[in-house]
Structure 1
């Protein structure tokens, strides 16, 4: 199993100081997030919003959430809405209605931020949701792990009028019963404060402010394979130390303050190289093949080419080797660049159906490591592999262009 590191540092990118959060596996950067040091994160913020207008043709409502700030609420995301007036969520939305909304996707390409009335409160082990009242489990948990965790939730399952649901996350496999139930209690208190008491707050109130993006990364990273959390920023080190002391005391030894002044942390892990990499469409593979990654308005296109591969075996085996290497690199590039939506991959054509099946399953295996929901769908008659990746944040290239 590859051990991972979480790296948090500050660097100047395009003349602007940014906090950078990177996940690395064996010195290779797998994920990269950055945010200008002077910018405040709004993803997952919860507000008392007001419906300005509804648009039946696109099945959405436009919601004002602050002074001159609007969001886009798909009507399917408003089925279990919590209104300040106390009326039920199955009522038709009308201009002037006040309801609780959460930003669940940042503004992208000039589009408004996407909102949901199905509120989510995330912890390390659990997500509490107001939209779905069921109790569900991450499909990455084994049957034995799910069975044990389900027993710990027996009391919750038997509550007669539970107004929220729970999703048990992959990290829960490593939780003690005490820590698991402690977090459940915290999430329920957060829900009570925001979703219940928030019904009595004035319009445009900020009911819940999202944590710093790097704190969310610390909370969400899969700790079973985590080797180290390293930062060279004393303030961030202190915040993470406080968080771990309260919620994951057994992980405190993983945190390290990097203090080498001669070799900056971002140079040690070549974060400049990773940022440079995502700005190129062409990515070379060790086998001599290469990828061409292009973002269009409608989808992401990835082309796999044999390039300068000089294998001496017959062509079919050559193409199989390049495609299998490409599958792993494509999964990494999707995470690194934060590409999402519809993704079409043109692998090198292979005549052997067994090789095609193998490729499909290898890609699925790599995608399972992605914290963002990703799904390989099928291979078309034209040998194009179709897949999707959930949209949460903007592609990293867009964030770089805005600096």
Structure 2
């Protein structure tokens, strides 16, 4: 699969549109605030909520975050604490914070409070896991081990050059040591660490072959050049300038955004999805619609359902819908057909940049999936621009 990144502005916000094999599959609104996800701050505990086992922490500039506390937490009212932003402020909720400080690269992530070596579940080779374990055990800083910092090996490491992994481990370790050894001597509300820009990280971590990164924004073009200029992606970066045809118009970005704000999503076959988000969950209803393909009714239903699970996975990415999702598939009587559709659903979810999982089929025949909550949905992003 080949990936193309198109970066421009939609209204006031920086938007990166992600094309896979020339199909627009994802909208990525960049966080241009100071308090972006992954940033590490020295916060001040304003209030303890004992019944919630949580604290409300002031990280400066009027930003209050919600910090869940574990049983062994030493946090108390009016204390200073090292925290990291783990989730954006979604709907009416505060920023979500964590004490498990994590610093990530393309191949590895170092996390405080999670000692040992863990692996992405998408790395299946036991032989490669042993090789990577050996590299990390030989190179990992003993002081970080003593402070219960662990390493998670990311999917990109499976086929990466060992020297690149060693170099990244050294860099991440140095950064983590700096944060942990100096934060107590810094003033409250200080930002101890700021990750690379989120859209840069999204490009860096992409697992497909990147064929083009195009933008019409001079500052973004410059930033891309600084980060990727000495890498194999340097030749993929292009600056677009055409006053008669804006970049988003060229790639039909505005059109797809408007389509993705509608309840109904059409499929090529003539079938369609009705997508209805609620506070608790999202329901996706599959309809055969205008699908008049000449085949048996059983095959028509199965093929419509297969098309529907792939389009559902795409729509979840486009709309950035998270949480619990129930898919009301067209009823199938043959167990083999059901099994094939669920197999296709799992394949479709595997291509998502955000963690998405098939859970089960409920007693009512609904396919249940979950998608990790990280950022605002597309509808919330658009609504945010109006205020």
Q: Compute the displacement of 1:58 (Å).
A: 2.0
Q: 1:187 aligns with which of 161, 168, 172?
A: 172
Structure 2 counterpart SS, 1:72: strand
Give the distance between the partners of 1:110 and 1:162, measured in 2 at CA. Answer: 35
Give the distance between the partners of 2:234 and 2:16, measured in 1 at CA. Answer: 19
Q: 2:27 aligns with which of 32, 35, 41?
A: 32
Q: Compute the displacement of 1:112 (Å).
A: 0.7
Where in structure 2 are there 5+ consecutive unaligned residues? none
Structure 2 counterpart SS, 1:197: helix
Q: Give the corresponding residue for 1:83.
A: none
Give the distance between the partners of 2:249 and 2:318, measured in 1 at CA. Answer: 18
Count of residue correspondences: 382
Give the distance between the partners of 2:165 and 2:48, measured in 1 at CA. Answer: 41
Q: Give the corresponding residue for 1:284.
A: 266
Q: Compute the displacement of 1:152 (Å).
A: 2.3
Q: Give the corresponding residue for 1:85.
A: none
Q: 1:215 aligns with which of 184, 200, 221?
A: 200
Residue 237 (str. 1) matches residue 229 (str. 2) = no
Q: Compute the displacement of 1:162 (Å).
A: 5.6
Give the distance between the partners of 1:244 and 1:7, measured in 2 at CA. Answer: 16
Give the distance between the partners of 1:287 and 1:392, measured in 2 at CA. Answer: 32
Residue 172 (str. 1) matches residue 157 (str. 2) = yes
Give the direction of change, closer, same or farther, for the CA distance of 1:193–1:158 in structure 2 (3 Å limit): closer
Q: 1:155 aligns with which of 115, 138, 148?
A: 138
Are the equivalent residues in 2 in contact too, given 1:48–1:100 (CA < 8 A)? yes
Q: Compute the displacement of 1:67 (Å).
A: 4.3
Structure 1 counterpart SS, 2:158: helix
Q: Compute the displacement of 1:196 (Å).
A: 2.5
Residue 399 (str. 1) matches residue 376 (str. 2) = no
Give the direction of change, closer, same or farther, for the CA distance of 1:360–1:192 in structure 2 (3 Å limit): same
Q: Compute the displacement of 1:399 (Å).
A: 0.9
Where in structure 1 are there 5+ consecutive unaligned residues? 80-89
Are the equivalent residues in 1 in contact too, given 2:75–2:81 (CA < 8 A)? no
Residue 355 (str. 1) matches residue 337 (str. 2) = yes
Give the direction of change, closer, same or farther, for the CA distance of 1:34–1:317 in structure 2 (3 Å limit): same
Residue 47 (str. 1) matches residue 41 (str. 2) = yes
Q: Compute the displacement of 1:392 (Å).
A: 0.6
Residue 9 (str. 1) matches residue 35 (str. 2) = no
Give the distance between the partners of 1:193 and 1:200, measured in 2 at CA. Answer: 12
Note the alpha carbon deviations across 1:307-329, whole angstroms, 9 max, x for none: 11112322221110110001111
Deviates more, 1:96-105 or 1:141-150: 141-150
Residue 326 (str. 1) matches residue 308 (str. 2) = yes
Are the equivalent residues in 2 in contact too, given 1:119–1:129 (CA < 8 A)? yes
TM-score by length of 2: 0.92
Q: Compute the displacement of 1:101 (Å).
A: 0.7
Give the distance between the partners of 2:9 and 2:19, measured in 1 at CA. Answer: 16
Q: 1:69 aligns with which of 44, 63, 70?
A: 63
Give the distance between the partners of 2:147 and 2:178, measured in 1 at CA. Answer: 16
Note the alpha carbon deviations across 1:51-82, whole angstroms, 9 max, x for none: 22222322221112114321111113xx6xxx
Q: Compute the displacement of 1:174 (Å).
A: 4.1
Note the alpha carbon deviations across 1:301-351, whole angstroms, 9 max, x for none: 111111111123222211101100011111111111111111111111111
Residue 198 (str. 1) matches residue 183 (str. 2) = yes
Are the equivalent residues in 2 in contact too, given 1:8–1:214 (CA < 8 A)? no
Are the equivalent residues in 2 in contact too, given 1:135–1:157 (CA < 8 A)? no
Structure 1 counterpart SS, 2:146: coil
TM-score by length of 1: 0.89
Q: Give the corresponding residue for 2:251.
A: 269
Are the equivalent residues in 2 in contact too, given 1:47–1:100 (CA < 8 A)? yes
Give the distance between the partners of 2:47 and 2:280, measured in 1 at CA. Answer: 27
Are the equivalent residues in 1 in contact too, given 2:325–2:368 (CA < 8 A)? yes
Q: Compute the displacement of 1:95 (Å).
A: 0.6
